Every structure is written in C-alpha cells, then in structure tokens.
Structure 1
Amino acid sequence: MIKIKFGTDGWRAIIADDFTVENVKRVAYATALWLKENFDNPTAVVGSDPRFAGPMFADVTTCVLASEGIKVFRAEDLFVSTPMISLATVRKEASAGIIITASHNPPAYNGYKIKAHYGGPATPDDIEKVEAKIPDTIDLKLKSVTDYVTDGLVEFVNMEDMYVEHAEKSFDIAAIRDSGLNWAYDAMYGAGQNVMRRLFPDITFLHCDHNPGFEGQAPEPIQRNLQEFEELIKLSEGEIASGLVTDGDADRIGLYDANGTFVDSHHILLLLIHYMYKVKGEKGEVYSTFSCTSKIQKLCDAYGLNNTVTKIGFKYICDLIVNSGNPFMVGGEESGGIAVNGHIPERDGIWIGLMIWEFMAKTGRSLSDLVQEIYDVVGKFAVERYDLHVTEELKQQIISNAKSGKYTGFGNLKVVKTEDLDGFKFFFEDDSWVMIRPSGTEPVLRVYAEAPSTAESIKILDIVKADLLQK
C-alpha cells in the first residue's frame, strides 16, 4: 500500500492509480478515528465536485464514516462546490466537512479535502493527526448508503438550495440582475455551474455542462486557460460588462472586464478593500499572503486599515480569521483564493465574483473604471510570474545564495531591502520587487515580479532569470 500524504490543501492522486476505492476507504477510516477521538457524537458533511467517479468516492467515504457510527449529511446534489460543503458544515453544525475534489488539478486527478467545523480548511495539526491514523490495509464490511439511511446514520441534504438562499440573503441579486449590464460566466465544467444558472438564468454561460473530464483541460482559472472565454468577451465589443470564472470546485476566481482584460487576484483584493471600506463603510483586518502585491499595504495605509502579511497558503489566512479574535474584512492569496467578512472563512470564487458584480451594479461604474479608482490611490502596477524548471541541485544552490545574502542586485537592479517570510523578496529603488520561492514538491522555482506595468514586470523577470540561471 502507498503512504498517503496530504498536501497544502488535501490529498490528491491520479484516479485508478493511487486514488482508488481502497485508498479512499483508508483515508475515510482515519478521518472517522480522528473524529471520534476529538468530538462527542461526531457528524460529517460529505459531497463531491463534477470530477470522474466523484459520487462513487463520496459514497465510499459516507459508508466508511457511517460504519463507524458517525452521522453523515450527504449532498443530495450530483455535485457540489467546496464552499457549499464548508457552508453546510457550519449550517449543520457538523464536526467536519469532506469533499471529493482535486480542485484545479488536471482531469486525471481526484482528491479528498477535509474542512473543519468552522467552515474552512482543517489545520495542519489536525491533518497530521488524520495522516497518522491511516492504516496500511483495511478490511471493512460496509452496507449500502440506503441501508445507512434506514439506520439513521445518513441524511441527504440539498446544499445547492442552502447556498443559493445564503447568497440571495447576502447580496442585492436584484440590483445585479436589473442593472442593465450583461454578464458572462465560465464554470470550466466545474461545480459552480448550477448555482450560477439559478442565480442568473439569463446571462451568457460557457463550459457549464456536466463534463467529468473537463474537456481535457485543467480547470484552473488563469489567463492562459481562458482564451475561449476571453475571445467571447472581446467579440461582444463591450456588451458583456464582466466575465466571472471559477475553478473545478469553485473556490478560486478569475475575472475579466468589458475589454476582455484579465483582472488578477491582486487587483480583486484591492477592489474588495475599496468596496467594503469606501462604499459599504465596513472596517476590519486585511490578510494577504507574501506573494501578493505591495499595493495592498499602500491602500490599507491610505484607509487606516491593518494589513497582516502571512506565509503562502490559504490555511494561514483562515487561521487568522478564525483565531486572531480581531474583526475581519478581507483576506486572500495570489492564486485566486479569497474570503470576505459575512461568509465562511473559506475561499469562494462565486461569492467574490458576486461582490465585484454588486460593486459595479451599485455604483454604475465599469470594472476598468473601478480599477482606475484603485490606481488613483496606489498607482498602476502589474504582478507577473515565471515558473523556472530547474534541476534540484540548481534550485537548492539559488536558495542557498539567497539565504547567505549573495543577491545584492540583478543586472542593473540594485536591491535596497530583502524580506524572507516565505521565500525571498528583493525590493528595488522604485518600489518594484522580485520574489523567489522554491516549490516544495517539484524542481521548480517560482519567480514573481511587481512593477508599474506588465512590460516592466516581465523585464525584471527576464533580468533575474538570466542572473539566476548563470550562477
């Protein structure tokens, strides 16, 4: 049997290779032991996204938990998003939520995410406890889901209804629908499609069919994966005011303006701070990860808000939301995972998209105009990233050089300040910066750069890349 190890956000593996019924049983059994050890009369919420064999693996998980006497609230919907599972976990006051998903990974993968009772990622400590309980082999006599329903150990719950009702109470959906603006949504064949059809039946939809193989495309909402959607918006010649994209389990966001320009997470975070503080009059803590734009600090300074920078990974954002004791406003990461006050401490692509659409509808301003409002306060900027595929030896050498302070400049760029919270961020004299961070799982070096324009960011990346690869 393989040793099963959870990554930064769940266990993921290739279907029928390591992601098998037998191995899912092992993980579900360990989850059951952990639940019984840490909760009196534990309960769990279980569902799956649209990936291949998701319902089967969700049924296996349900039956294993029920066989251990744990009451399971099983999604009655064919597929659900990760935020829907997290919301249901809170609403049903369950001990944990489990969703079968590999998020934005390629179609060959599936996965198993554990959500805590507060409706956000389980802590690394709890995940380690589950991992430690995974048996090498397993021999369980399981009954059918129907039998466990009869026994009172499984209850089917409509999580789609729950989420739609929550959204309708939390947003002025009528203002968005009746704004006179045309909207578009690309589900990337993922779990957000049914909810969006119910909330906005008359907008333009793309890739909103049930396609467990995602048409061979990794459902990650980054610009290079969204060319068909981008072209659709450009061809509308301004008729589509904004396009929203979510990933496979709908917890990450991608966004487009009316010109077909991709609006990244750095800009979305700034727009949310601007909307919640300036327009809605809210106050609270802002949390951003180390790879996010420095403009977040600049906007927070302008508005008198506190911004805490965390290590990279939404789990660090969630920990502060749940445990800091401070009022929370906005938190997020560069990769498209963002949370806001008034919802669960969880990434939610649809929720964040509705925030931006409501901002546009309420102010009558275009998305590009709203971005310009941000620029008026913090200045124009662009953050770009290269993933350098290097040997493990070179990767380690570069990190060693960074740790020892060897990089005092790159080409004609002089380093004036260095930060090393999670990777190494080198600041230059004009407030632009470059950041180097190694992948923990593959021979890849991630290099980020921020400058006043895309061209300048790319220029920095090219200079730094040339410098790094020759040393």
Structure 2
Amino acid sequence: MSEVTKIKFGTDGWRAIIAKEFTVENVARVSFATGNWVKNNFDNPTIVVGHDCRFAGELFAETATKVFASQGIKVILAKGFVSTPMVSLGAVKNNASLGVVLTASHNPPSYNGYKLKGHFGGPLSPEHVQEVEDMIPNENTVDLSADIDDLVAAGLVEYQDLEKMYIDQVKESFDIEAIKNCGLNFAYDAMYGAGQNVLKKIFPDMTFLHCEHNPSFMGQAPEPIAKNLNEFSELIKAKGNIAAGLATDGDADRIGLFNSKGEFVDSHHILLLLTHYLHKVKGLNGKVVVAASTTPRVERLAKLWNLDFDMVKIGFKYIAGQMVTEDVLVGGEESGGIAIKGHIPERDGIWMGLVIFEFMAKSGKTLEELVNEVYELVGEFKYWRDDLHLKEELKQEVIANCKADKYSSFGPYKVQDVNTIDGFKYIFNDDEWLMIRPSGTEPVLRAYAESKTLEGAKAILKAAKEELGIA
C-alpha cells in the first residue's frame, strides 16, 4: 500500500498539487472528517459546496458532495465556478452549518485547495479547523460511485446559483447608479479567477482584462500584487481615461488596486481609504483590526478618530474571529484580504473595490485626491516587500538571531522598539520600520519595509539584507 499523505491545514486551508497530493481520494478523506465534525456540532446539518476556476474543480466539488451525502448531510452545491465570498455568503443566506470551497486562492495553477467557512460566513476558527484535521482518516472508505443527479432526486443535494445571490447582494448594498453615472471609467482584471462574471453583469461597459475561463491562468499565479499585474498597469496607462483599476485573485477574496496613472495602490492605502470613507463620510463606527505587517498609520488614523484598534497575527482568520464577536468597522491585512462592516466577516476583493469606486463616484474625487486626503491626516508613505528565497539553515539562523535580540541596528537604521506579535517588526522612528517574518510553508523569509518614499523603503531592505548576510 502506498504511503499515507498527511493532510495539514495551513494559514488558509489545505493546499496541494493537483494529481500529486490533491486527489479524489484525499479530498474524500478530508470531506469525511469535515462531515463528521459538522454532524458532531450541528443537528440536521447543511453544507454549502463550491469550486473555483481551477482544473477538475467540478470533480473535486462533486467528490466532497458525495461524501457529505453518504453521511446524511444535506448539500447545497453551487452551479458552475464561484468565488470564496459567494460560498461564505451562501452559508449565511442558507443558514448552513458550514461552507466548503475547493480553491487554492492565489497559488500557482498546479495547486488546488480546500477551505472551511463557518456558518457566520467567514473562515472557520483555527481550533475548529484543527478538530477537523485531527479526524482525517488514513484512507477513504466512502463509495464514490453515486450519481449526483440521483442525490438531487433523493433530496440530499440541491443546486443553487450562488453567483446570482452574490450579485443581488451587491445591487442591494451599493449605489450602482451613482457608480454608473459618475462619468468615471473603471477597469477590472479578474486574473482568470472566479470573480470574472460579476462586474460584467453589473457594469457591462467597464474595461475588462482576463475575464474568461482559463484554468491555467496563462501560467501566472493569480495573486493581485504589482509584479503580477504589469499587463493591467500597461492597459490603464495606454487607455489614458481609466480612473481606477481593480484586480482580484483566483477566488476573488483579495484585492489589488491601481490609480489612473497605472500605479499600484497597496493594501495599507486601501485600509486607510476604507476607514476614511466608512467613518468620516458614512458616519459608521467600530473597531479597526489589522495584521502585524500593516502600516502603523492605520492605528494613527483610528486614534485620530477615537476608534478602537487592535493588531493581530497574520492570517485573516484572526481578524474574522473578532468580526464575529465584536463590532468591527474594518479588518484587513497587507496581502489584500480586507473585510468591512455591513457585509460578511470575509475577505472580498470585489466588494472592497466597489466601496472605493462608490467613494470616488460620491465624492467626485480621483483616487489620487482621496489618497492625498488620507496623507494629510497620517503623512505620506511608501511600502515595499521582498520575499527572500534562502536555504533553510540560513532562514533558521536569521530567526534565531532575531529571537536572541541580536539586531540593534540595520546599517544606519537604529532600532527603537521591536513588535513580536508575529515575526519581528523593528521600529526605527515614527515613519520607518522593517519586519522580518519566516514563511510557514516555504523556504522564504519575508522582509517588509516602510518609509516616506519608495527609495527609502528599498534602502531599508537593502541595509537589512546586508546586516543579515543575504547577498
């Protein structure tokens, strides 16, 4: 018998390479544990199941569905590919016990994955995910030969159009006419991901890129960061009349944003813009919660307006946990996962983009002008991140040195304070910092820096690499 694959859930679900570890048998094993967990925790449970645009998504979603049905659990199965926020919203709207999304999010095209969503419409809490993981059997014993149509006829499976449900929710929640009639042109790059149809159906006149089904993502990991979006940036520059551009990742829960010059607007700026709009313009209150790698300027803005603030470990589940139990206005992290009050406690790239578009439409201001308004409150800043690919020994050596407090300066940058909520955030002064954090899944050391200028941020990273002995 072949060796059993140990299945572990990482920061955001289980990810593996399709046909290597991500197989029908292994998806069935995870689903068996998931079904048992749901039955232990809910009477007459229901699970909402959906898949994104990746290879064999339908096959894997149907595999999970067959396992759940064999356990006597009612399944609401999405018609066609869907985004993660659609499944999370579907869990809430159907009063379901759980949502399961077959997606590898922003990972390369060779990957697929398995995300668990709580009945409240956000990531299942880490302790509950651990309970599921602990129940995964060593092999699949479920007969997968059942026909989905037979399960539908038996009342165990019901198809639902989660995309339409999501679009209806968008139409109810935003001033669509204001966005359509404001005289501004917007663009959207779906990165071939699962959000590709939403804006086409609501704003057919928008400029679209990579909004067709292509499971290979043209070989590009669908992560909406600047270096992956050069084509979109060039399109905005070439058109010359686009006010802002929105990009979302493979399962449409992360946001990328561009201004009219085709310049990337990072998540730190988006968090500030959202807080500005929701509190100052819409008059909403609540706590602001961000991950440890986020700019301190978010805290500065929150304090300016007497809003509660909290910083948590990296991983959206830690933010979602607070959104479920407390009154949170904005929650987000550096990687583009952001959620707001009035929607589900879930990252949602399209939703966040529409908030920004609505802000522009209602204020009559450009994205650049709105960013400048925020700068007037917290100061201008730029941010940069380097992913340093190191041998594991060097990575561990650097982390050991960080833990032992070996670094009092990085070149000319003197350390004033160290924040160790997650990784090591070295504060140099009010406007400059460096953060070093190991990836939990790959031989990568993430280095983040902020300064008043981009040159300043890159200079900090250069000094850091020299101090750490990384060429």
* TM norm. shorter chain > 0.5: yes
Could you tell me how far 1:171 is from its partner in structure 2?
A: 0.4
Tell me how far apart the structure 2 counterparts of residues 452 and 315 of structure 1 sit (CA, whole Å).
31
Deviations 1:71-94, CA, capped at 9 Å, x for gaps: 000112x11000000000000000
Distance 1:303 1:150, change over 3 A: same
Paired residues of 2:292 and 2:314 also in contact (CA < 8 A):
yes
- Asked if 1:339 corresponds to 2:343, the answer is no
One-letter amino acid of the structure 2 residue matched with residue 415 of structure 1: V
- Say which of 221, 225, 228 aligns to 1:222: 225
Tell me how far apart the structure 2 counterparts of residues 118 and 67 of structure 1 sit (CA, whole Å).
25
Question: Which residue in the other structure is 2:73 paired with?
Answer: 70
SS of the counterpart of 1:83? helix
Question: Which residue in the other structure is 1:350 paired with?
Answer: 350
SS of the counterpart of 1:193? coil
- Say which of 220, 231, 234 aligns to 1:231: 234
- Asked if 1:432 corresponds to 2:435, the answer is no
Could you tell me how far 1:417 is from its partner in structure 2?
A: 1.2
Deviations 1:272-312, CA, capped at 9 Å, x for gaps: 00001111111110000100001101111211111100011
One-letter amino acid of the structure 1 residue matched with residue 163 of structure 2: E
SS of the counterpart of 1:210? coil
1:38-57 to 2 correspondences below 5 Å: 38-57=41-60
SS of the counterpart of 2:28? helix
1:27-176 to 2 correspondences below 5 Å: 27-76=30-79, 78-142=80-144, 143-176=146-179
Q: Which moved further from structure 2: 20-29 or 85-94?
A: 20-29
One-letter amino acid of the structure 1 residue matched with residue 422 of structure 2: D
Question: Which residue in the other structure is 2:401 paired with?
Answer: 401
Could you tell me how far 1:216 is from its partner in structure 2?
A: 1.0
- Say which of 210, 229, 248 aligns to 1:246: 248
One-letter amino acid of the structure 1 residue matched with residue 371 of structure 2: V
Q: Which moved further from structure 2: 342-351 or 295-304?
A: 295-304
One-letter amino acid of the structure 2 residue matched with residue 26 of structure 1: R
SS of the counterpart of 1:12? strand
SS of the counterpart of 1:305? coil
Question: Which residue in the other structure is 2:462 paired with?
Answer: 462
Question: Which residue in the other structure is 2:29 paired with?
Answer: 26
- Say which of 288, 298, 304 aligns to 2:300: 298
Tell me how far apart the structure 2 counterparts of residues 234 and 438 of structure 1 sit (CA, whole Å).
36
Tell me how far apart the structure 2 counterparts of residues 245 and 394 of structure 1 sit (CA, whole Å).
35
- Say which of 184, 197, 201 aligns to 1:198: 201
Distance 1:176 1:470, change over 3 A: closer
One-letter amino acid of the structure 2 residue matched with residue 163 of structure 1: Y
Tell me how far apart the structure 2 counterparts of residues 431 and 395 of structure 1 sit (CA, whole Å).
27
Paired residues of 2:431 and 2:452 also in contact (CA < 8 A):
no
Tell me how far apart the structure 2 counterparts of residues 404 and 216 of structure 1 sit (CA, whole Å).
41
SS of the counterpart of 2:416? strand
Tell me how far apart the structure 1 counterparts of residues 201 and 266 of structure 2 sit (CA, whole Å).
26
Could you tell me how far 1:416 is from its partner in structure 2?
A: 1.2
Deviations 1:341-377, CA, capped at 9 Å, x for gaps: 0000000000000000000000000000000000011
Report percent identity of matched pairs.
58
One-letter amino acid of the structure 1 residue matched with residue 210 of structure 2: H
Tell me how far apart the structure 1 counterparts of residues 389 and 186 of structure 2 sit (CA, whole Å).
38
Distance 1:57 1:458, change over 3 A: same
One-letter amino acid of the structure 1 residue matched with residue 46 of structure 2: T
- Asked if 1:259 corresponds to 2:261, the answer is yes
Paired residues of 2:294 and 2:334 also in contact (CA < 8 A):
yes
Paired residues of 2:52 and 2:250 also in contact (CA < 8 A):
yes
SS of the counterpart of 1:111? strand
Could you tell me how far 1:135 is from its partner in structure 2?
A: 1.1
Paired residues of 2:185 and 2:242 also in contact (CA < 8 A):
yes
Tell me how far apart the structure 1 counterparts of residues 228 and 396 of structure 2 sit (CA, whole Å).
30
Tell me how far apart the structure 2 counterparts of residues 99 and 444 of structure 1 sit (CA, whole Å).
27
One-letter amino acid of the structure 2 residue matched with residue 266 of structure 1: H
Tell me how far apart the structure 1 counterparts of residues 161 and 427 of structure 2 sit (CA, whole Å).
50
Could you tell me how far 1:443 is from its partner in structure 2?
A: 2.0
Q: Which runs of 5+ in 1 are unaligned?
A: none
Question: Which residue in the other structure is 2:453 paired with?
Answer: 453
TM-score (normalizing by structure 2): 0.98
One-letter amino acid of the structure 2 residue matched with residue 416 of structure 1: Q
SS of the counterpart of 2:117? strand
Question: Which residue in the other structure is 2:20 paired with?
Answer: 17
Tell me how far apart the structure 1 counterparts of residues 216 and 192 of structure 2 sit (CA, whole Å).
9
Deviations 1:180-214, CA, capped at 9 Å, x for gaps: 11111000000111111111111111000111111
List structure 1 runs of 4+ shifted beyond 6 angstroms: none
Tell me how far apart the structure 2 counterparts of residues 137 and 403 of structure 1 sit (CA, whole Å).
40
CA RMSD of aligned residues (A): 1.1
Question: Which residue in the other structure is 1:382 paired with?
Answer: 382
Tell me how far apart the structure 2 counterparts of residues 470 and 182 of structure 1 sit (CA, whole Å).
44
Question: Which residue in the other structure is 1:314 paired with?
Answer: 316
Q: Which runs of 5+ in 2 are unaligned?
A: none
One-letter amino acid of the structure 1 residue matched with residue 264 of structure 2: F
One-letter amino acid of the structure 2 residue matched with residue 122 of structure 1: L
Could you tell me how far 1:140 is from its partner in structure 2?
A: 1.8
Question: Which residue in the other structure is 1:178 paired with?
Answer: 181
Tell me how far apart the structure 2 counterparts of residues 180 and 22 of structure 1 sit (CA, whole Å).
52
Tell me how far apart the structure 2 counterparts of residues 356 and 388 of structure 1 sit (CA, whole Å).
32
Paired residues of 2:106 and 2:221 also in contact (CA < 8 A):
yes
Tell me how far apart the structure 2 counterparts of residues 191 and 120 of structure 1 sit (CA, whole Å).
18
How many residues end up aligned between the 2 structures? 467
SS of the counterpart of 1:355? helix
Distance 1:429 1:36, change over 3 A: closer
Deviations 1:368-418, CA, capped at 9 Å, x for gaps: 000000001111101111111222222222222222222111111111111
TM-score (normalizing by structure 1): 0.98
Could you tell me how far 1:320 is from its partner in structure 2?
A: 0.8
One-letter amino acid of the structure 2 residue matched with residue 428 of structure 1: F
Could you tell me how far 1:430 is from its partner in structure 2?
A: 4.8
Tell me how far apart the structure 1 counterparts of residues 306 and 373 of structure 2 sit (CA, whole Å).
17
Tell me how far apart the structure 2 counterparts of residues 467 and 358 of structure 1 sit (CA, whole Å).
45
Tell me how far apart the structure 2 counterparts of residues 465 and 203 of structure 1 sit (CA, whole Å).
43
One-letter amino acid of the structure 2 residue matched with residue 447 of structure 1: A
Could you tell me how far 1:470 is from its partner in structure 2?
A: 6.4
